Structure 1
């Protein structure tokens, strides 16, 4: 199948913004206001899964539509590098070397920093016996980077029709690895192979779009999406916080299937129905544009402001306001100059 023009879907920027807001909501200390909100905020943690599904979808649709172009690997990896590396390593410099100058934290040993420099920080977070020090929320960035490392090679080497089997195999592999690790009492939340299923499920969505099957599956998105959401709601109400082994095995895949349906429904319907227009409104799209900086900076800002002992409402207002302001300044003044360099690595 030949490459085709990739339609830009603004609502997907909106979904990225919503995913970021979910994570921000999860990280805020709602215990200051109402303990019930702490339990509700747990849903915000699944914003990471929405990020994974979105990334799998967006990256794979680019790869599928450019695999026959010149400089396929060079352009893909340099464009990813320009988007991800500057802010990632810039924030590590802030964390390790600038903040300690102001007596905020200490400079950890190089052996503890090294895991972050190599995008391997989720490994010691999984297996006991290794030490690392750095931004705790960067584990998800490591998983996405691992996916970017090998998935383009599979897309390039495999016939397009085989990708559905490759993605399905990755999904099954994630489930099997979770079963194995749980049997050895090893946590499955942070480990790459335990979370690849969400990215692979997003890749399946791109495959269906590329092969013009996405619209024919439209009727299933709403039904399966509602069914999977009900399963997650029941799980949250009756088993939340119990850390049941069997639930850990299937939970992440069910969450990914739910967001598969959400992304697919929005991508097909935009801008022709109310839900897609809401997701694609200016506020959510703007949040999606600055989402990388918002994700990177908000825990640091939250911690600093909450340590000032303001009342709840002032803390909430300042936390959100300064997080948005910092992310916007980062995007305009720091990230955007690197993004402009992408024009030198366009696909021919």
Structure 2
């Protein structure tokens, strides 16, 4: 007999697929962001909301996976499982970021060629822990807490959500959790409608303002997803993957709301999408079944690459951005390269998944979880 293992539950394949759909939208969003002049004319305008969708999915799935297991699972077991799931690709994302950074030299990133190798390696090593770095350690000039791989900021907040859940929130009653979620929704709405840019974009710098944004973006979706899992029983919805995928794409691709005259309107769109539409999408996804071998393969593939593509694509985006800006390329001129970036991001993610992430997680699980009684 073994201890440290938990009987696996049936999972929601459609939710896996939706995570992949959102991750691919993030890549497209970042490609088009290179050609935008401001938040107002960005194509796939609300692609940044994928982060908030990921947080909500995480809260829902963590509640489903762990809420009823605390009688047989210790805090140590929980944190080991989360580290095994998340940390290998954090490390790989930083290594990929360092490799791309080393070969970059662009007017977009002034002074990047003068960064000593020791400093780059130090930032990479600290980044592998996902601990945030202050602006003084930013290598690129964008103020990122992880300047080798910007999207790692959301993994920092993902860990914060996991820690809060394991230490405190797992014991909250539905009533207490509902109060927390309601207050978090108010916090999010206030941030969104008062934002100087009229959106919830931000959270990636270790400053007071950016931490405010990061926590506002984390608290409602993460614990809202947890509450959704606790209070709602999935139904039986036909074509759930199709409808929920179309909703994800529609929300993320929706044009800017309100223009420059009514910035608050776009902030309201952001917050209401996170508070109402994203839980609806997750409910639809959890209420469906995947029929047919092709649909099953698509959901599995999307789910498998979702995290690797999210955490490894941005170093390629840095390089694409530098090429576009250095050569003053419009999208009409650069779309073949943009397509190559999109395909390369998927290819890199799949290679990392199969050659590194899955073998490393299997090895770590055997070493850290499968212990003889």
1:195-244 residue CA offsets vs partner (Å, 9 max, x unmatched): 121212211221124xxx4449x8xx9xxx9xx99x979x9454145572
Q: Distance in 1 between matches of 2:77 and 2:51?
A: 26
TM-score, with length taken from structure 1: 0.73
Kindly report which structure 2 residues correspond to 1:186-205, keeping only aligned pairs within 5 A, or say none: 189-190=202-203, 191-195=213-217, 196-205=219-228
Q: Secondary structure at the match of 1:15?
A: helix
Structure 1 residues 111 and 256, CA, compared in 2 at 3 Å: closer, same or farther?
A: farther
Structure 1 residues 243 and 57, CA, compared in 2 at 3 Å: closer, same or farther?
A: farther
Cα distance, 1:258 vs structure 2: 0.7
Q: Distance in 2 between matches of 1:54 and 1:278?
A: 24
Cα distance, 1:28 vs structure 2: 1.1
Partner of 2:66: 63
Q: Distance in 2 between matches of 1:174 and 1:145?
A: 19
Give yes or no for the alignment of 1:20 onto 2:17. Answer: no
Decide whether the 8 Å contact of 2:185 with 2:275 is kept in 1: no
Decide whether the 8 Å contact of 1:30 with 1:38 is kept in 2: no
Cα distance, 1:89 vs structure 2: 2.6
Cα distance, 1:259 vs structure 2: 1.3
Which of 148, 151, 175 is the equivalent residue of 1:137? 151
1:252-301 residue CA offsets vs partner (Å, 9 max, x unmatched): 343342111011012112247xxxx8995533431220122211222222
Decide whether the 8 Å contact of 1:14 with 1:280 is kept in 2: no
Structure 1 residues 123 and 42, CA, compared in 2 at 3 Å: closer, same or farther?
A: farther
Q: Distance in 1 between matches of 2:44 and 2:294?
A: 20
Give yes or no for the alignment of 1:153 onto 2:177. Answer: no
Partner of 2:369: 345
Q: Distance in 1 between matches of 2:93 and 2:34?
A: 28
Decide whether the 8 Å contact of 2:132 with 2:153 is kept in 1: yes
Cα distance, 1:27 vs structure 2: 0.8
Indicate the larger mover: 100-109 or 292-301.
Answer: 100-109
Q: Distance in 1 between matches of 2:319 and 2:297?
A: 29
Give yes or no for the alignment of 1:262 onto 2:281. Answer: yes
Note the residue ranges of structure 2 that are not aligned, 5 or more in a row: 1-5, 106-111, 137-142, 204-212
Q: Distance in 2 between matches of 1:271 and 1:103?
A: 43
Note the residue ranges of structure 1 that are not aligned, 5 or more in a row: none
Higher helix share: 1
Indicate the larger mover: 308-317 or 139-148.
Answer: 308-317
Cα distance, 1:327 vs structure 2: 0.7
Q: Distance in 2 between matches of 1:131 and 1:241?
A: 26
Structure 1 residues 302 and 189, CA, compared in 2 at 3 Å: closer, same or farther?
A: closer
Decide whether the 8 Å contact of 1:201 with 1:257 is kept in 2: no
Q: Distance in 1 between matches of 2:287 and 2:268?
A: 30
Decide whether the 8 Å contact of 1:50 with 1:259 is kept in 2: yes
Decide whether the 8 Å contact of 1:14 with 1:281 is kept in 2: no
1:12-41 residue CA offsets vs partner (Å, 9 max, x unmatched): 1110110101101101137779x9x96441
Q: Distance in 2 between matches of 1:45 and 1:188?
A: 7
Decide whether the 8 Å contact of 1:15 with 1:279 is kept in 2: no
Partner of 1:89: 91
Give yes or no for the alignment of 1:171 onto 2:185. Answer: yes
Cα distance, 1:117 vs structure 2: 5.8
Kindly report which structure 2 residues correspond to 1:291-302, keeping only aligned pairs within 5 A, or say none: 291-302=306-317
Partner of 2:303: 288
Q: Secondary structure at the match of 2:44?
A: helix
Structure 1 residues 151 and 337, CA, compared in 2 at 3 Å: closer, same or farther?
A: same
Q: Distance in 2 between matches of 1:251 and 1:112?
A: 33
Q: Distance in 2 between matches of 1:243 and 1:262?
A: 27
Q: Distance in 1 between matches of 2:12 and 2:144?
A: 41
Decide whether the 8 Å contact of 2:193 with 2:264 is kept in 1: no
Decide whether the 8 Å contact of 1:294 with 1:327 is kept in 2: yes
Kindly report which structure 2 residues correspond to 1:113-128, keeping only aligned pairs within 5 A, or say none: 116=127, 119=130, 121=132
